Amino acid sequence: MSDSPPPARRPVEDRPVRIVSARPSIGLRFKEIWESRELLSYFVITDIKIKYKASALGILWSMFAPAATLAIYWVVFGKILPNSVPNFALFLFAGLLIWNFFFGVIITSTSVVVDRAGIVKKVAFPREILALSTVGTSFVYFLIQCGVMVIFMLALWHPPAWGMLWLLPLSIFALAVFAGSLGILLSAINVYLRDTRHLIEVALQLWFFLTPIVYSFEHQISKKLHHVAVGNDHILNLTWLYFLNPVTPIVMTFQRVIYAQPTVRATSVPHVPYSVLPTWPTSTYLLLNLGVLAAGLVLFAIAITVFGRLEGNFAEEL
C-alpha cells in the first residue's frame, strides 16, 4: 500500500457505493429496484421471446386461452343460464380482461423465485424484479387482448364511454401496483412454504367469483348485500365488505367505460329498463381507483419489507 498508485483507469473515488447488509433500509431497496429497471425490461422481453420462440403462431397463442375462456363463460352464463344482459359477451370481456391480467401476475409470480433458482443462487440483483417482471409480461398480454377487444367493439359498433376513458390507465396502473406487491410477497413466501402455489390456485378460484365478472354487481347482488339478515332482527349492509376486494373497483371501472351503458333494456323483457352497472358519477369511480392505488402502495411497502427479511436466506433455501 506504500508504493505509488497503479495507473488509474478512472477515479474510483467518485464511483457509487453499494452496501450489502443484513437489513437494508427500505429506501435503499427502492433505489436498487429503480436502478435495475433495464434488467426488468430484459426479463419481460426474454420471457415473451422464450415462450413463443418454438411455436409457429407465436404470440397468437397468448390469445387462445383467453378467447376460449371468454367463449365458455359466454355459453354458460349467457346462453345456458341466461341473464338477459344484452351484448353479454362484451360485458364479460371487459371483466375478463382485468381478471386475466391479475390472475397471470399472481399465479406466475408466486413460483417465479423458485422457478428461477439458478440465477437467484448465482447472480446478484434485486430479486423483487423477478415478481415485477411477471407484471410486465402479463401487461403485454393485456395490451394484446385490449387490441382484440377494440376489434370486437368495432365489429359490434359499440362505442365506449369516451368521457371516462382516461380512467383506464389509472385503473390498470393501480391494479398493477397491487398485483405486483402481492406477487412480491407470495414469491418470497413460496420459497419457504412450497405449497403456497396450490393454495393460491384455490384462493384465486374463490376470488374470481367474489369479483363481478360473470355476473353484474348492480343487477344481481347489490340489493342482497344491502340487506344481509343476521339472526332474526339484524339487517346489515355488507357492501363495504364486498368492496374490500381491490379487483372489484377495477373490473367495474372497465365495465363502465367499455360496456358504457349503466341502464339497458333486457333481452327477455325489452320494455323494462334495468341497471347493469351502477350509475355513479365519474368522481366515485376515480375515488375507488385511488383507493385501490393507495392500498397497492401500502402493500408494496409491506411486501418490500417482508421480502427483504426473507430474501437473505433464498440462496440456501432453494
Partner 1 sequence: MTAVVQVENISKRFRLYHERHRSVKDRIIHPGGGTYTDLQALDDVSFSIDAGQTVGILGRNGSGKSTLLKCICGVLKPNEGQILVRGTLAGLLELGAGFQPELSGRDNVYLSGSMLGFSRKDVDRLFDSIVEFSELEGFVDTQVKFYSSGMYVRLAFAVAVNVDPDVLVVDEVLAVGDERFQAKCMDRIRQFQLEGRTIMLVSHNADQVRSLCDRAIVLDHGRMIADGPSGDSVRIFREALSADSRSVDAEAPVNVSISIESVTTSTGRFAAHTNEAFGFEVALTSNESFDGFFVMELHTHDGTLVTRTDPTTAPVSLSPGHQRLAVSLPALPLLDGDYELSVGLLSGFGHSVAAWREQVATLEVSYDGRASGLVPLAPRVNLA
2 or 232, CB closer to partner 1? 2
Q: At what angle do helices 282-311 and 128-156 cross, to 10 degrees?
A: 150
Q: At what angle do helices 247-254 and 88-115 cross, to 10 degrees?
A: 140
- In the complex, minimum distance from the CB of residue 33 to partner 1, in angstroms, rounded to a whole number: 14
Q: Is 124 helix (H, G, I), strand (E, B) or coil?
A: coil
1 binds partner 1 (CB under 8 A): yes
13 binds partner 1 (CB under 8 A): yes
Q: Which of 20, 56, 202, 244 binds partner 1 (CB under 8 A)?
A: 20
- In the complex, minimum distance from the CB of residue 9 to partner 1, in angstroms, rounded to a whole number: 5
Which H or E run contains 273?
A: strand 273-275
121 or 223, CB closer to partner 1? 121
Cα gap 295→248, rounded to integer Å? 13
Contacts of partner 1 in 170-209 (CB under 8 A): 192-196, 199
206 or 230, CB closer to partner 1? 206
- In the complex, minimum distance from the CB of residue 122 to partner 1, in angstroms, rounded to a whole number: 3
Q: Is 71 helix (H, G, I), strand (E, B) or coil?
A: helix
Length of the chain counted residue by residue: 318
Contacts of partner 1 in 214-253 (CB under 8 A): none
Which H or E run contains 264?
A: strand 263-265
Cα gap 106→181, rounded to integer Å? 10
Site of interaction with partner 1 (CB under 8 A):
1, 5-9, 12-13, 15-22, 38-39, 42, 46, 49-50, 53-54, 118-119, 121-125, 192-196, 199, 311-313, 315-316
